[in-house]
């Protein structure tokens, strides 16, 4: 904590003493005086070229979370053309919409991003303006380590725009998290400085601030994009609208020395060569070592990127490589890196930075309430159906919540209503043992009476709760105020005014009233990382337990599951759907399944197939269909399931909404997606794995795709069950119960089951297992069970251990293949010594 001493009384005394000692030592060096006069001049010269950029984040969020007027992002930019062309960092505007640019003199302009290059972290923003002051750009070759520089930007808060920090150039040719070289500086660079100017003492821009290194114990470590890289990107933006990068088609690997920052005598090793690429065509192979590109030696990836940026796609370049013990020069005609197109969108709520501009009231049109909407009120979390919403004050002085209980009787007396509010408050503040009720009354306000309770919540603050009964609903409005603000009379008046503005009505014609209702009778569109999007009714929701690829209606009776895998070489839509059909038919016996004829259709602009089916394990039938299509090297399967009895208009509308809205946007795919193997293509249902129980001295071969049910991860437990769809193999080992007693117990259990239900049928017999092991066998059939099944139980003894093995299979899945697989697993049973 010593480094913070200057903020203590003792630290301030020490600081003042040190300052006086310095003063007594004589005047400051002349260069310091010169610097003090020089910095204001260059800042004054350059500041008109630096602008602040603010906008709204465009990342998708939960519909119940607020995109409010205070939810903003900001950064900095540098004017490079007098007609309103501004350069900034790509990361500043990548996820920003409704951009507003503020110049140094306070003039505000609407702006939009026109070009972006994430590799260099540079972008252009355009505003409709003329006569601006473009910055003077230096040359990277003139930058010297140790020279004085100043950073101009918008750190931390938009209110701090055009802040200036001063330092020196700490280093050149740095390569921290960048494809290109960076300038290191100790001039303070903080969040919001991104995109701002790093200037020399001539008032020239030598770099665009891009990042700082932030960690406890690390200070004054910032980085800027050198001005020559900025000029390179600006030129490409001007000529091509994007940065045209050469493509070789290989992956390069640095030496260990280069990775840790040591000088490296080794070039870049070729880790991979893409077939049919320019590099492959030139004969460059894996494990070759790059020595130079043109006349530039390359030993790091930054060396490589700095060298290759001097060429354009289509250029020929000589690449010197070391292949084993021999050197060679390869002439390569460069291809072009394909980049994702950047799409810019404006907020659906309009182009204003403040989405709530002109809104002075807020409410819920579906639940029928409204109130005043002060500028500092921020909407927080809202429940899925809108019956609960909370607000906070932007300054942190108070919070407000509104809940609506739609199942409350209008017949509650004032006394009962007050008791209900008090009970709710006790539940909410049950941990506040010192909570004290300060006021409790029923206010007979004309047209809108309410119950009111004011209480002090320990040392935290004060709570006022109001309850309104109206048309079968209980509206509860609760205000919490911090202790330091509650006793301020002026503040009290403003809080009561806000509460008094609450009304049990919503005027749909009032344009100043913002509607926060989440109720919708329409559809909601979902998009996943594979670029797939589709619309579902608004009452559907993403599954919380099975992942974001599952969706359910409000009572979970209907479901949609999405599966995306890569299309293997040579795979076709017909072959894929045929595999799924055979897999389904192999799983269920004919009596317990139906399969519709495949239907060809078009989804996402490509051929698709629909396979309808139904199946049951007993009395209740499930139905559904799967939609299959292949696009952009990926296979998309959307499975819809529901109770068979649900067929009707609702499901027809669901299918229509789903199939008409399915789209695949390649630009919205996660750029890090690779090959995703379809496990069904590799799965072998007959493949077995060994299982051993050393304690109870047995082993057997179990199908790999069966699931082992276990309470613990202990293979040597007495009871073990292996489960497959519609059946299981269960083994119980007992070293304390004799063979005869086990049979007596099982005989009694079987007789009791038959006595209780004559439809439960069994027979028993004596058999010999595993060549010479005496056993008792029970064959059980229960055709009228909710899920009809057959079961075979074997009881036998070996090595003074009594084994009870059950083979159970539901009639619905009792196919020849499944039954043979179950029998084979049991017959693999062997005893260990």
**Euclidean distance between CA atoms 310 and 141, whole angstroms:** 16
Which secondary-structure segment (H or E) carries 277?
A: none
3-state secondary structure (DSSP) of residue 506: coil
Residue given tokens 């600081």 in the structure block: 15
Can you point out the beta strands (E) in 263-352? 268-273, 289-293, 296-297, 316-323, 326-333, 335-336
Instruction: Using DSSP, state whether 51 is helix, strand or coil.
Output: strand
- Give CA–CA dist 643/624, Å, rounded: 8
Structure tokens at 560: 């949609």
What whole-number distance in Å separates Cα of residue 486 and Cα of residue 749?
72
396: phi > 0 → left, psi -120 to 50 → alpha, else beta; which?
A: left
CB atoms within 10 A of CB 472: 11
Sign of CA pseudo-dihedral 301, 307, 312, 313 = negative
Instruction: Count other C-beta atoms under 10 Å from residue 831's C-beta.
Output: 14
**Hey, what are 587's tokens?**
């799983």
Alpha-carbon gap, residue 496 to 746, rounded angstroms: 75
Phi, then psi, of 825 in degrees rounded to 5? -65, -40
Q: 241 pairs with which residues across the strands?
A: none
Q: Output the six-digit token pair for 280.
A: 């492959």
What's the residue count for the chain? 833
The β-bridge relationship of strands 246-247 and 222-226 is unpaired
DSSP string, 90-158: HHHHTTEEEEEEE-TTS-EEEEEEEEEETTTTEEEEEES--S--PPPB--GGG--TT-EEEEEE--SSG
CA distances to 527, 665, 669 from 530, in Å: 8, 8, 5
Across-strand partners of 319? 293, 330
Output the CA torsion sign for 416, 421, 422, 423: positive
- Concatenate the DSSP letters of all residues of 189-217 into one string: --TT-TT-EEE-TTS-EEEEEEEE--BTT
CA proximity to 523, closest of 510, 537, 534: 537
Catalytic residues: 91, 121, 194
| Two structure tokens written together for 219 | 């200070």
Q: Say which residue the tokens 């269909």 belong to.
A: 625
Ramachandran region, residue 146 (left: φ > 0; alpha: ψ -120 to 50; beta: rest): left
Look at residues 305, 89, 302, 297 and name the one whose alpha carbon lies nearest to residue 175. Answer: 302
Q: Quote the tokens at residue 832.
A: 């260990």
Cβ contact 147:236 at 8 Å? no
SS3 275: coil
Give the list of residues 6+ apart from residue 46 with CB closer than 8 angstroms, or none: 135, 136, 150, 152, 197, 199, 203, 205
Task: Output DSSP code: residue 161.
Answer: T
Distances 309 to 280, 335, 762 between C-alpha atoms, Å: 20, 13, 81
Q: Is 459 helix (H, G, I), strand (E, B) or coil?
A: coil
The closest of 621, 624, 620, 817 to 724, measured between CA atoms, is 817
């Amino acid at each position: 904590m010593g480094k913070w001493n200057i903020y203590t009384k003792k630290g301030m005394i020490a600081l003042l003493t040190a300052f006086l000692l310095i003063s007594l030592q004589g005047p400051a060096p002349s260069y310091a005086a010169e610097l003090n006069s020089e910095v204001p001049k260059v800042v004054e010269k350059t500041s008109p070229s630096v602008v602040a950029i603010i906008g709204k984040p465009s990342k998708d969020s939960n519909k119940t979370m607020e995109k409010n007027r205070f939810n903003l992002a900001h950064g900095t930019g540098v004017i490079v053309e007098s007609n309103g062309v501004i350069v900034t960092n790509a990361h500043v505007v990548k996820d920003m919409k409704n951009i507003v640019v503020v110049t140094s003199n306070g003039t505000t302009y609407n702006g939009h991003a026109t070009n972006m290059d994430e590799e260099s972290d540079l972008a252009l923003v355009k505003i409709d303006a003329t006569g601006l002051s473009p910055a003077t750009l230096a040359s990277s070759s003139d930058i010297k380590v140790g020279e004085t520089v100043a950073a101009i930007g918008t750190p931390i808060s938009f209110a701090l725009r055009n802040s200036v920090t001063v330092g020196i150039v700490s280093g050149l040719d740095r390569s921290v998290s960048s494809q290109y070289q960076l300038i290191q500086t100790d001039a303070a660079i903080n969040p919001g400085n991104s995109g701002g100017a790093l200037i020399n003492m001539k008032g020239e821009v030598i770099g665009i601030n891009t990042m700082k290194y932030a960690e406890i114990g690390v200070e004054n470590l910032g980085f800027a994009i050198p001005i020559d890289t900025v000029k390179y990107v600006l030129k490409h933006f001007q000529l091509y609208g994007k940065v045209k990068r050469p493509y070789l088609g290989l992956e390069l690997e640095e030496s260990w020395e280069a990775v840790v920052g040591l000088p490296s005598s080794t070039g870049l090793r070729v880790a991979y060569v893409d077939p049919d690429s320019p590099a492959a065509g030139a004969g460059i192979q894996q494990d070759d070592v790059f020595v130079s590109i043109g006349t530039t030696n390359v030993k790091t990836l930054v060396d490589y990127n700095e060298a290759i940026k001097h060429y354009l796609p289509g250029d020929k370049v000589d690449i010197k490589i070391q292949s084993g013990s021999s050197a060679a020069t390869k002439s390569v005609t460069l291809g072009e890196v394909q980049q994702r197109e950047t799409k810019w969108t404006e907020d659906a709520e309009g182009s204003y930075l403040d989405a709530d501009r002109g809104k002075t009231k807020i409410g819920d049109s579906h639940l029928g309430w409204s109130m005043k909407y002060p500028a500092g009120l921020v909407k927080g979390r809202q429940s899925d159906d809108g019956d609960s919403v909370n607000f906070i004050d932007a300054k942190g002085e108070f919070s407000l919540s509104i809940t609506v209980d739609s199942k409350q009787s209008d017949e509650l007396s004032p006394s009962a209503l007050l008791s209900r509010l008090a009970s709710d408050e006790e539940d909410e503040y049950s941990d506040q043992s010192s909570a004290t009720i300060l006021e409790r009354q029923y206010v007979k306000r004309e047209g809108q009476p309410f119950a009111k309770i004011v209480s002090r919540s320990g040392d935290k603050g004060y709570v006022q709760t109001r309850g309104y009964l109206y048309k079968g609903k209980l509206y509860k409005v609760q205000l919490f105020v911090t202790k330091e603000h509650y006793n301020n009379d002026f503040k009290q008046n403003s809080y009561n005014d806000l509460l008094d503005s609450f009304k049990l009505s919503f005027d749909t014609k009032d344009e100043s009233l913002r509607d926060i209702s989440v109720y919708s009778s329409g559809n909601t569109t979902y998009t996943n990382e594979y670029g797939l999007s589709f619309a579902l009714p608004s009452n559907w929701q993403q599954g919380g337990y099975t992942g974001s690829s599952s969706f359910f209606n409000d009572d979970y009776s209907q479901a949609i599951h999405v599966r995306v895998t890569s299309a293997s070489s040579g795979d076709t839509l017909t072959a894929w759907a045929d595999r799924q059909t055979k897999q389904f038919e192999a799983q269920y016996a004919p009596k317990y399944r139906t399969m519709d004829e495949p239907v060809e259709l078009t989804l996402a602009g490509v051929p698709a197939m629909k396979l309808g089916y139904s199946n049951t394990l007993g009395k209740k039938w499930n139905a559904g269909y799967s939609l299959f299509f292949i696009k952009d090297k990926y296979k998309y399967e959307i499975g819809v399931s529901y109770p068979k009895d649900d067929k009707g208009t609702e499901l027809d509308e669901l299918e229509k909404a789903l199939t008409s809205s399915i789209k695949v946007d390649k630009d919205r795919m996660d750029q890090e997606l690779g090959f995703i193997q379809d496990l069904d293509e590799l799965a072998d249902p007959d493949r077995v794995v060994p299982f051993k129980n050393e304690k109870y001295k047995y082993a057997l071969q179990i199908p790999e795709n069966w699931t082992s049910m276990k309470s613990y991860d202990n293979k040597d437990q007495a009871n073990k069950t292996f489960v497959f769809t519609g059946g299981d193999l269960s083994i119980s080992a007992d070293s304390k119960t004799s063979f005869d007693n086990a049979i007596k117990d099982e005989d009694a259990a079987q007789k009791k089951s038959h006595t209780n239900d004559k439809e439960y049928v069994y027979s028993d017999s004596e058999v010999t297992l595993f060549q010479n092991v005496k056993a008792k066998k029970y064959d059980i059939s229960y055709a009228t069970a909710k899920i009809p099944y057959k079961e075979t139980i074997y009881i036998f003894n070996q090595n003074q251990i009594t084994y009870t093995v059950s083979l159970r299979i539901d009639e619905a899945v009792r196919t020849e293949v499944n039954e043979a697989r179950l029998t084979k697993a049991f017959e693999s049973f062997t005893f260990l010594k």
